[in-house]
Structures are given as C-alpha cells and as structure tokens.
Amino acid sequence: MKTTEIALALQGGGAHGAFTWGVLDRLLETRRYHPAALSGASAGAMNAALLAYGWMEDGYDGAREALGQFWQRLSALYPWPAAHAPPVALQGLLQLSHFLTSDQLNPFDYNPLRELIASSIDFARLRTTPIQLFIAATHVNSGRLKLFHAHELSVEHLLASACLPQLHHTVHIDGEAYWDGGLTANPPLFPLAYQGRARDIVLVTLVPQQWEEMPGRAGAVERRLNDISFGSSLHTELQGLAIAKREAGRSLFGLGRLERHLRQLRLHHIDADATTGALDSLSKLTPHHGLVQQLFAAGRERAQAWLQEHGAEVGRKSTMRLWRRIG
C-alpha cells in the first residue's frame, strides 16, 4: 500500500489529549500515512514522543501500543468515577493556587507523570529517532517559546512542556526555568512548515476554535479566557503561515527552496470542538478511566469522519482553508 509522509502538529490540553490518542490510533491503523515529523505542547508533546518512540519499536503497531499503554496507565492513577465532576478537593486546590505557590501547595513536588513517562519511554533510544520532533516549552524569564528536539529529550523536557505552574514546580533544564509550552505555541507549526520534510501537515486541536455564544457565568468567563490564552498562539501562527504562502504563490520567478516548500505545503485539520467544548474545564486535570475512554472513542470517530471526507486528498491538496480559519 502506498503511504504519504505527513507531519503532525498536536495541541495540548491535559486529559483532553486522550482525544488526540484516539485520532492518532485511527490514523495509524490505516497504515496510509508515514509520520515524518511531529510537534506538540503539553499533552501533545507526550503524544508526539510516545508515537515516535513506539514507531522505533514496531512501526504502526508499536506506536499504537506505546500510546495506548501510556493513557491506560495514566487513567489508572486517577480512580475518580464521575466523568464530569472533578473532586471537590481539586477545585479547592485550584482556588488556593490564587494565593499560594506550587512550592507551598506541593512541597514535595509530587508529579505522577514523572515516573509514568520514565517507564514508558527509553529516552536513550528516542534520541536516535529518524522522526523529526519539536517539543514546545515556555521560557519563564523571557516568555519566549523554546523548542526541544529529539536528540536532547529526557523526562524533564516533557515535564517542562506540560508544567502548569499553579500545580507543579517550575522545571529547570540547564539552569533555565520552563513552564507549559501551550502558553507560547499550542502546537508549534512553524518548524513543521519551514524545517519539516513532509509536505502535508495534519493539525489536531483540542481547544475550541469557535464559540456560539457569549459566556454568562463567572466560571464560563474564566474558561473562555483560558481557551483564548492557550489558543491565541495558534491563530497567530496560522495567520503568519497564510501570509507566507500567499506571498510565495505570488512570486513569478527566482523561487528559493523556502518559497518552493511553502507553495507545496498542504494543511489539514482535525478538531475536537464538538467533544471538548461540552466538557468542564477542570476535566483537563482529571484523566480518569471513564473520561479517557470517552475521549479516545470520540477521537477515533472524529478521525474516521475526517478520513472519509478528506483522507484521499492528503498528498494532493490542502483541506484546511487558512484564510477562512483566521478570519
């Protein structure tokens, strides 16, 4: 079967990353697309690293296995039964985070992800992956995006990409402090567009791209602010990419390598709007079994719908209308 090289840009969103697991599982199951490059922030970074590592172990099957094992083991760490009702204790903890630092709230720096990641990925092996990896983190003292690449990755790099400073201690790497990569690139698109080998980029998003009504209650306002904060960098990158592609397309002669690459670049989009838009914002922090399985199934279903509508067009033309997306 002929395969098409693709790059995958995976958005972060905590437990909602299980939706992306479902999308990836269905895409890998088809064996139609070869992952040449991956970018991600937060949960997207986890999914990217797991896919790349599993791919090294056993191709499509290995990638599916690595992703599945991670999310199933993660959900076992959070045995809360109610899909839409995070524990009262968590809500109280988040309220306290307005007054206390994570060092005070979590003095022993407890983070169950650390051991889970370490036991899920052999980083010495991952650092030799042929798949391009771009993992986003936010440099605390400058507010700038920091991209980590495959050859330097460790547990700490993935923890940095997923570090919510209200709950977890700041992650230090080589003396520099980092927070969640979703603050500055959610997910990183430009390295896939300008440095990636694949001509097709598949963007998988978890943050709603559009809302039908104004938020009314205080909690809804806070969620909207959070969604806008973690989605604004993507809109900025999409706008920049749209302008760059337009200018490259206008050039009649003297095209350089970058201009040719931009002309040939094709974009695709798989969103979770119908699924994550209906969930409580605190559900991002509670990856219990019921929610993870619900999101996984929804991701597979959404990917299947996308495959039926656009799957055959990958490798031929863009299915994401950039200018319409950015208004």
Query: Model confidence over 91-134: pLDDT tens digits?
Result: 544 554 444 444 544 544 557 899 999 999 999 999 999 999 99
Angle at 312 between CA 32 and CA 300, to 5 degrees: 60
CATH number at residue 127: 3.40.1090
From the list 25, 180, 200, 271, the catalytic residue is 180
Count Cα neighbours of 63 within 13 Å in the Cβ-side half-sphere.
Answer: 26
The closest of 110, 74, 100 to 285, measured between CA atoms, is 74
Average pLDDT over the chain, rounded to whole? Answer: 87
CA distance 133 to 183: 19
CA distance 239 to 190: 11
User: What integer pLDDT is reported at residue 61 of this predicted model?
Assistant: 98
User: What integer pLDDT is reported at residue 248 of this predicted model?
Assistant: 80
CA distance 69 to 79: 16
Classify residue 68 as exposed, middle or buried by CB count within 10 Å of its CB (0-12, 13-18, 19+).
middle
Q: Greater confidence, 178 or 230? A: 178
Nearby residues of 242 by Cβ (< 8 Å), 6 or more positions away: 322, 323, 326
Could you confirm whether 180 is annotated as catalytic? yes
From the list 42, 75, 120, 281, the catalytic residue is 42
pLDDT at residue 219 is higher than 80:
no
The closest of 114, 125, 117 to 150, measured between CA atoms, is 125
The closest of 205, 166, 268, 176 to 44, measured between CA atoms, is 205
pTM attached to this predicted model: 0.90
Specify the number of domains making up the chain. 1
Residue range(s) defining the domain that contains residue 282? 4-211+218-324
Angle at 321 between CA 41 and CA 302, to 5 degrees: 60
